[in-house]
Amino acid sequence: AKVKVLAERKKQISDQLIGVFYEDINYAADGGIYGELIQNRDFEYHPLERKNNDPNWNALTAWEVLTDHKIDSTQPIHKNNKHYLVLQPKNSGALVRNLGYDGISVKGGEKYDLSLFVKEIEGDNVLQISLKDRQGTSYGTTQIRVKGTFWKKHKAVIKTKSAGDELFLEIQLQKPSSIALDMISLFPRNTFNNRTNGLRQDLAQVIADINPKFVRFPGGCVAHGDGLENIYNWKHTVGPLEARIPQRNIWGYHQSVGLGYFEYFQFCEDIDATPIPIIAAGVPCQNSSTGGAGQQCGLPMEEMDAYIQDILDLIEWANGPADSKWGSVRAKAGHPKPFNLKYIGIGNEDLISDVFIERFTMIYNAIQKAHPEITVIGTVGPFSSGSDYEEGWRLADELDIPMVDEHYYQPPGWFIHNQDFYDTYDRSKSKVYLGEYAAHLPGRPNNIETALSEALYLTSIERNGDIVEMSSYAPLLAKEGSTQWNPDLIYFDNSQVHLTPGYYVQKLFGNHGGTLYFDHQLKLSNNSGDVKKRVAVSSVLDESSNELIIKLVNLLPVAVETQLDLDEFNLAPRSASMHTLSGHPDDESATPQKSEVDLDNSKSFNLKPYSLQVIRIKLL
Candidate residues 475, 487, 514, 592; the one interacting with ligand AHR per rule CB under 6 A: 475
Nearer to ligand AHR, 417 or 440 (CB): 440
Distance CA 86, CA 121 (A): 8
For residue 78, give the 3-state DSSP assignment.
Answer: strand
Nearer to ligand AHR, 254 or 608 (CB): 254
In the complex, least distance from residue 158 CB atom to ligand AHR, rounded to whole angstroms: 36
DSSP character at residue 371: -
391 contributes a contact to ligand AHR by CB under 6 A: no
Nearer to ligand AHR, 197 or 255 (CB): 255
Beta carbons of 524 and 560 less than 8 angstroms apart: yes
Q: Write the CB contacts of 538 (distance below 8 Å, at least 6 apart in sequence).
A: 458, 459, 460, 462, 463, 517, 550, 551
- List, edge to edge, every strand of the sheet that includes 274-279: 20-21, 214-217, 274-279, 343-346, 375-382, 403-410, 431-439, 468-471
Nearer to ligand AHR, 219 or 227 (CB): 219
Nearer to ligand AHR, 2 or 444 (CB): 444
Distance CA 31, CA 108 (A): 20
Residue 473 identity: Y
414 contributes a contact to ligand AHR by CB under 6 A: no
Beta carbons of 360 and 378 less than 8 angstroms apart: yes
In the complex, least distance from residue 409 CB atom to ligand AHR, rounded to whole angstroms: 7
In the complex, least distance from residue 438 CB atom to ligand AHR, rounded to whole angstroms: 8
Active-site residue flag, 44: no
Q: Which residue is nearest to ligand AHR (CB)?
A: 220
Beta carbons of 286 and 295 less than 8 angstroms apart: yes
Residue 571 identity: L
In the complex, least distance from residue 285 CB atom to ligand AHR, rounded to whole angstroms: 8
In the complex, least distance from residue 239 CB atom to ligand AHR, rounded to whole angstroms: 26
In the complex, least distance from residue 304 CB atom to ligand AHR, rounded to whole angstroms: 23
348 contributes a contact to ligand AHR by CB under 6 A: yes
Per DSSP bridges, beta strands 125-132 and 164-173 are: antiparallel
Beta carbons of 396 and 380 less than 8 angstroms apart: yes
Burial class of 511 by CB neighbour count within 10 A (0 to 12, 13 to 18, 19+): middle
Write the interaction track for ligand AHR spanning residues 479-498; mark x where CB under 6 A is met and - where it is not: ------x-------------
Measured in whole angstroms, the distance separating CA 56 from the mean position of its chain's CA atoms is: 29
Residues 24 to 83 in contact with ligand AHR, rule: CB under 6 A: 25
Nearer to ligand AHR, 114 or 474 (CB): 474
Measured in whole angstroms, the distance separating CA 362 from the mean position of its chain's CA atoms is: 28
Distance CA 202, CA 183 (A): 25
- Among 168, 169, 166, 141, smallest CA distance to 156 is for 141
23 contributes a contact to ligand AHR by CB under 6 A: yes
Candidate residues 349, 350, 405, 469; the one interacting with ligand AHR per rule CB under 6 A: 349
Q: Which of 49, 170, 263, 349 is catalytic?
A: 349
In the complex, least distance from residue 210 CB atom to ligand AHR, rounded to whole angstroms: 17
Distance CA 440, CA 338 (A): 40
In the complex, least distance from residue 46 CB atom to ligand AHR, rounded to whole angstroms: 22
Q: Which residues pair with 548 in a beta bridge?
A: 541, 617
Helix (H) or strand (E) holding 177: none
- Among 175, 121, 184, 127, smallest CA distance to 148 is for 121
Distance CA 320, CA 336 (A): 9
Candidate residues 24, 30, 42, 436; the one interacting with ligand AHR per rule CB under 6 A: 436
Nearer to ligand AHR, 285 or 448 (CB): 285
Distance CA 142, CA 161 (A): 13
Beta carbons of 500 and 587 less than 8 angstroms apart: no
In the complex, least distance from residue 348 CB atom to ligand AHR, rounded to whole angstroms: 5
Nearer to ligand AHR, 286 or 319 (CB): 286
Distance CA 180, CA 119 (A): 5
Nearer to ligand AHR, 268 or 478 (CB): 478
Residue 561 identity: E
377 contributes a contact to ligand AHR by CB under 6 A: no
Distance CA 558, CA 517 (A): 28
Distance CA 571, CA 366 (A): 51
Residues 174 to 233 in contact with ligand AHR, rule: CB under 6 A: 219-221
In the complex, least distance from residue 600 CB atom to ligand AHR, rounded to whole angstroms: 45
Nearer to ligand AHR, 220 or 277 (CB): 220
Interface size with ligand AHR, residues (CB under 6 A): 12
66-78 core/surface letters (b: 16 or more CB in 10 A; e: else)? ebebeebeeebbb
Catalytic center residues: 349
Binding site for ligand AHR (CB under 6 A): 23, 25, 219-221, 348-349, 407, 436, 474-475, 485
